[in-house]
Structure 1
Amino acid sequence: MENYRIGRRAVLAGALSLALAASVPNEGAAETLANRVQNNATITVGIYNVAPWGYKNEDGSISGIHPDLLRAVLGSLGISNIEFAIVEFPALIPSLVSKRIDIVATGMAITPVRCQQVIFTEPDLAIGDALVVLPGNPKTLHSYTDIANNPDLRIGGARGTTNVENAFKAGIPRDRILQFDGGKSIIAALFAGRIDAIAWSVPTAINALKDPAVQGKVERALPFKGVVENGRESAFYTAMVFRPEDKELRDRYNESFATLKSTGTIKQIMAKYDFTDTELVPAGLTAKDLCGDHYR
C-alpha cells in the first residue's frame, strides 16, 4: 500500500486542473467513481494523519475511525481496493476536486460553505465538548450547568478555544474558567485541585487519555451535556466527502452505512477509538439539514 503526502503543490495543481477543465475537453470526465469501482479500480482516500481520525502507523498501515468506517461500509459493497494518501488539511478539498484523491475520510465537518464545493455522506459522528475529571467523577459532573450552579467549582480549558466559550455560554462565570496554554498545565491544575474539570473537544480528550502519564488518573465524565443552542447541543458533524459527480456512490455508501449502523457495527468501530454514545448523531439529523440550500 502506497502512502504519499500532498501539500501546497496540490492546491496549485488543483486550481490549474480546474482552469484547464474549463477550456480543454476531457474525454474521461463522464467516468464516475461508481463506474471505476465496477472495474475494480483503486480508490485513493485522503486523510490528514491525525488521531483518532485517520493516521499512519509506524509499520506503514493506516488506522483511525474514518478509515475503518470507510473500509467497513465500502467492504459491504464489495469494494476493497483502497489506498490512502496523507494530505495537508487545507489541501483535502482541492485535491478531491482535482481528482488527485477520490474520497476524504478524516474527520471533516459538514458546513454549508463546503457543501457548495463537494457532497457529504450522512453525518457519522457528533463532535461536541468533553469533560475530563478525576477518577470516579467525585463532584458528579455531567454538564456545564452542574458547574455553573455550584459557585465552589472551577473549570479549565485551552486558551481561546470554542470549549471555553461554550462553558461561558452555558452559564459558568468567566472568573471560574481558568485558561491555559498547554494540555500538561491543564492536567497539572486538575491534579493540584485548582480546577475541578477540564473542557476539551472530544478528540482532544480521547488523545489526552491515551497518554501513559495520565492513564487511570483521569477520565471522561459520561454522560455529558454541553451548551445547547437553537434546540441542539453545540457540536460539529463529521462525514465522508465525495465529488458532486460521484453522487451515485455516495448514495450507495449512505444505504450501506445505515445497514451497518442498525447491526451495531458502527458502534463497535466507534468504541475501538473511544468514541461513546455521546458522539452518536441525533436521530433524524441529516446532511441535508446541515448543508441547507447547498445540499446535493
Structure 2
Amino acid sequence: MLKISLRTFRSLVMGGVALVAMGATTLNAQAKTALERIISSGKITIGIHNRAPWGFRGADGQATGFHPDLIRAAFAPLGVKEVEFVIADLGALIPGLLADRTDAVASGFSITPARCEQVAFGEPELAIGDAVIVQAGNPHGIHSYADIVKNPKLSIGGSRGSANLANARAAGIPASQIQQFQNTESSVSAIMAGRVQAVAFSSGSVVSLLQDPRVTGLERAMPFQGYIKPDGKPAANYSGIAFRKGDAELRAAYDKRLAELRADGGLVAIAKRYGFTADEIAPDSVKAAELCADKL
C-alpha cells in the first residue's frame, strides 16, 4: 500500500492550493474583456498601414492621420493615455487583429461584406466617393463625370481596373474618353504631362496625393459629383474601424464615443485636418450592419 508522510501530504495540499490560486488568477485574466483590459491598463494597440491620410508615421516619428487622431479622441475620455500603433502591410492588418496582436484596425478600411465575415466594424465615419484631380485652376471646369461626357475633347485617366473608372463608365463616359494606366503614379504623371484632363481616384487617395511635394500644378476639382446609382444614391465606400467579433463591448464603447464626436463637431474637425470635407462625413443613417449585408 502506498504511504504518504504527513510532511509530504502537507506539501501536496499546499501545492494544490497554489495551483488552484494560480488557475483562478489565469481564469480571471482570461475573463477580462478587451474593454476592461484597455481601461485598466490605460493602453490600446491599433494597427495601421502607413498610408496618408488614414494613418502614417509623421516627420517626428509619431503616428498621425485621420484614424490615429480619431482613435485618440474616442478613447482618451475613457482613460486611455497610451495608444500604440503597429504598422503592417494592408493585407496583414486583419490577420494581426485576429491573432490578438492589436485591439483594432484603423487604417481606412472600407466596410464590405467580405471583410464583415472576418471582423466587426464600428459605425462608418466617412463616405469615400470618387474624386478627380485636374490642372490647377480647373481650366476645363470639370465638376462631374457629366462634364466630361458633354465635351468629347476631354479625357479622364485612372488606374487599370479601378472602381473609379468603372464608375466613370457607368456615368456614361465612353471608352474613347477613358485612358487606363498601370498604377497611381503613372496616372498622375499623365495629367501632369497633359495627356489627360482629369484622373479619377477615391477621395482619400486624392487627399494623399496632393500632399506629396512632388505633385505640383494640380488640384482637386471641387465640388465634384461622381456616379449616381439607379436608386439615386451616390456611389461610395464607407470607412470604419475593425474590431474582433468577440469584442462587442469595445466596439460599442467606440460607437458611443463616435456618436458624441459626430454631435459635437469633433469628427468634422478631425476630417478637415486631413483634407476631407464636411460633405464626406458618413450620414448617421448609414449603418455598418447594412453595409455588411450589402443593403446600400
TM-score range, shorter chain: 0.7 to 0.9
Structure 2 residue runs of 5 or longer lacking an equivalent are 1-25
Letter of the 2:72 counterpart: R
SS in 1 for 2:31: coil
The two structures have a TM-score, normalised by structure 1, of 0.83
Aligned to 2:12: none
How far did 1:273 drift? Answer: 1.1
- TM, length-normalised to structure 2: 0.83
Aligned to 1:9: none
Residues of 2 paired with 1:109 and 1:189: CA distance?
27
What SS class does the counterpart of residue 71 from structure 1 fall into? Answer: helix
1:176 alignment counterpart: 177
Paired residue for 1:86?
A: 87
Name the structure 2 match of 1:221: 221
Moved more, 71-80 or 275-284: 275-284
Cα shift at 1:26:
7.0
1:191–1:243 distance in 2 versus 1, CA, 3 Å: closer
Mapping for residues 244-283 of structure 1, pairs under 5 Å: 244-283=245-284
Contact 1:34 1:246 in 2 (8 A): yes
Going from structure 1 to structure 2, the CA distance change for 1:61 and 1:98 (only over 3 Å counts) comes to same
Distance (whole Å) between structure 2 residues aligned to residue 116 and residue 189 of structure 1: 38
Deviation at 1:114, TM superposition (A): 2.0
Does the 8 Å CA contact 2:42/2:79 hold for their aligned counterparts? no
Per the TM alignment, residue 184 of structure 1 is displaced from its structure 2 partner at its CA by: 5.1
Q: 1:118–1:187: structure 2 CA closer, same or farther, 3 Å change rule? A: closer
The equivalent of 2:293 in structure 1 is: 292
Partner-residue secondary structure (3-state), 2:84:
strand
Distance 1:78 1:152, change over 3 A: same
Q: Residue 114 of structure 1 aligns with which residue?
A: 115
Alignment correspondent of 1:75 = 76
What amino acid maps onto 2:269 in structure 1? Q
**Residue matched to 1:52:** 53
Q: Does structure 2 retain, via aligned residues, the 8 Å contact 1:54–1:67?
A: yes
CA distance in 2, matches of 1:258, 1:131: 30
Is the contact between residue 68 and residue 106 of structure 2 (CA under 8 Å) also seen in structure 1? Answer: yes
Amino acid aligned to 1:209: L
Q: How many residues align?
A: 269
Matched to 1:280, the amino acid is: I
1:224–1:278: 8 Å Cα contact kept in structure 2? no
Highest Rg: 1 or 2? 2
Q: Is the 8 A contact 2:129 2:235 kept in 1?
A: yes
- In the aligned structure 2, how far is the partner of 1:59 from the partner of 1:153? 42
Contact kept? 1:77, 1:256, Cα under 8 Å: no
AA in 2 matched with 1:257: L
CA RMSD of aligned residues (A): 2.3
> Quick one: percent identity of the two aligned structures?
45
| Separation in 2, partners of 1:273, 1:93 | 24
Residue 81 of structure 1 and its aligned partner are, at CA, apart by 2.3
Structure 1 residue 51 displacement after superposition: 1.5
The one-letter code sitting in structure 2 at the alignment partner of 1:35 is E
Q: Deviations over 1:126-145 (max 9, x none)?
A: 11211111222222221111
Q: How does 1:52-201 map to 2 (within 5 A)?
A: 52-183=53-184, 185-201=186-202
Gaps of 5+ in 1: 1-24
CA distance 1:293–1:29, change in 2 (3 Å): farther
